[in-house]
Structure 1
Amino acid sequence: MDSSKVSPATLADPIDTLLSAHGLRRTAAARLVLGLLLAHPDTSYTHAQLLATLQDDAHPALDRVTLYRLIDRLTQVGLLLCRVDVERVRRYQAMPSSVYAIPHFECQSCHRDSPLSGALESSADDLERAAQTALETLKALGYQGLSVDFAVRGVCVDCASGAPGHA
């Protein structure tokens, strides 16, 4: 057999690899949810939005309790970032493995969540170092399952200017 030709079946699925590396079962539901979130890394979803998106895409039915348990497990092992917005609603998004803090802006009027990585590009290295230092310090003290949420809250430009469709 020619070793230069590798069949697609022999290549490891990156989602299966991630799930296995974090000690999770590679179920169809886990692959579906993690695949969706990894495909949209700058988007955060509520539980209801995830459920609606998965049902709209004509995927096999996934009940809300199974989804709750699954996103909880994915968050516990560090594959998802869970944030609680000003309305106390949990939002989930994929957690890049190389990122210690994902800065974002939450509008207190329209509740949009916008990544700030571009806006804070000149400060990104300082933010990463500060987050990494805080996590390492807490880990050395025995804390586990750590993540950093850097949220700036206020009113977005559209809402502040009274743009149509925003209140």
Structure 2
Amino acid sequence: MPALSPPLASDPIDALLSAHGLRRTGAARRVLGWLLAHPDTSYTHAQLQTALQADDPARAQGEGAVALDRVTLYRLIDRLTQVGLLLCRVDAKRVRRYQAMPASVHALPHFECQSCHRDSPLTGTLQGNALDLEVAAQSALQALKALGYQGLSLDLAVRGVCADCATAAQTPSLTPTAAGSGASS
């Protein structure tokens, strides 16, 4: 008798969760679906919770409600990160940010502004060097695997001050005292 193969999930999110050994709960589908729908954005735990609540207010009141309290969300994003479906970055202020991690990507370059703390992907900016980055990432991961390291991921972060913040720092701004004294003259 031939071995029966498991039924294929018709939903790609269900398929991803199953392939990574995770339960296909409503909360897991919702969180992973949201992050996959916004692949170029990284979220803090609080930002993700706010975005999910704002995204579907009807779900919270009606049938099919998915309870997603702070602790449930934290545990879920931790599990999704452990299996490699999410990328977790820690910025210069030690704040964790999460975003979807495509399976084909081993190095996801990004820029972290140390002034406004925005996190900007550099994939478009570095498009011409993407293959070089991928080769370097693969080489580094293979070398570490050969030394016995496991569960590896690579984060390429460039830190500095973004153009907006640099321009704002160079532009003299009116202080409340200077604005008030100019108006009374």
So what's the TM-score if we normalise by structure 2? Answer: 0.80
Q: Which residue of 2 aligns with 1:147?
A: 153
Pick the aligned partner of 1:125 from 131, 142, 145: 131
Partner Cα distance (2:131, 2:123) in 1: 11
Counterpart residue type for residue 17 of structure 2: L
Pick the aligned partner of 1:100 from 97, 106, 109: 106
Matched, 1:21 2:30: no
Q: How far did residue 56 of structure 1 move?
A: 1.3
Partner Cα distance (2:147, 2:79) in 1: 24
Partner Cα distance (1:140, 1:69) in 2: 31
What's the Cα RMSD here?
1.6
Q: Which residue of 1 aligns with 2:32?
A: 34
* Residue aligned with 1:83, SS: strand
- Consecutive unaligned residues in structure 2, runs of 5 or more: 1-7, 60-65, 172-185
Pick the aligned partner of 2:89 from 83, 86, 99: 83
Partner Cα distance (1:143, 1:12) in 2: 35
Partner Cα distance (2:53, 2:82) in 1: 24
Partner Cα distance (2:149, 2:78) in 1: 18
- Consecutive unaligned residues in structure 1, runs of 5 or more: 1-9
Partner Cα distance (2:39, 2:97) in 1: 13
Q: Which residue of 2 aligns with 1:5?
A: none
Q: Name the structure with the higher strand share.
A: 1
Q: Percent identity?
A: 77
Q: How far did residue 11 of structure 1 move?
A: 6.5
- Retained in 2: the 8 A contact 1:15–1:31? yes
Query: Which has the larger displacement, 49-58 or 90-99?
Result: 49-58
So what's the TM-score if we normalise by structure 1? Answer: 0.89
* Residue aligned with 2:138, SS: helix
Q: Which residue of 2 aligns with 1:156?
A: 162
* Residue aligned with 2:108, SS: strand
Partner Cα distance (1:144, 1:122) in 2: 30
- Retained in 2: the 8 A contact 1:100–1:147? yes
- Retained in 2: the 8 A contact 1:55–1:61? no
Partner Cα distance (1:99, 1:46) in 2: 21
Partner Cα distance (1:146, 1:81) in 2: 11
Q: Any runs of at least 4 consecutive aligned residues in structure 1 with deviations exceeding 4 A, and if so which?
A: none
- Retained in 1: the 8 A contact 2:9–2:15? no
Pick the aligned partner of 1:64 from 57, 67, 70: 70
